[in-house]
Amino acid sequence: MQKKCEICGKIIPEERLRILPETKRCVECAEKNGPDVHAKRRDVGMDIDTYKDLLGAIRS
Ligand SMILES: [Zn+2]
């Protein structure tokens, strides 16, 4: 199922939705306007986009 960003209307990447299923914003808009969902913050212990960057850094 595809979801579009509530701000720019672009399709939110599936990878992001897997981590943040409730989000209505793409990564760019979340960075510019602030994330709309903090549901996972408890589990992760940090901002979800920071967490994703960290995961990317580990993988690369
Ligand atoms: Zn957007």
In a domain, 55, yes or no: yes
The pLDDT, as a whole number, for residue 46 is 61
CB atoms within 10 A of CB 26: 21
28 domain-assigned: yes
**pLDDT at residue 34, as a whole number:** 77
For 18-57, the pLDDT digits (tens) are 988 888 999 899 888 877 765 444 555 566 677 777 777 7
Give the structural domain span for 35.
Answer: 14-59
Residue 23 burial by Cβ neighbours in a 10 Å radius (0-12, 13-18, 19+): buried
Which residues, at least 6 apart from 20, have a Cβ–Cβ distance to it below 8 Å?
35, 37, 39, 40, 48
50 belongs to a structural domain = yes
The number of folded domains in the chain is: 1
Q: Domain for residue 9, yes or no?
A: no
For residue 47, how far is its CA from the centre of ligand 1 (angstroms)?
Answer: 18
Select the more confidently predicted residue: 1 or 24. Answer: 24
Q: Which residues surround ligand 1, an ion (CB under 5 A)?
A: 5, 7-8, 26, 29
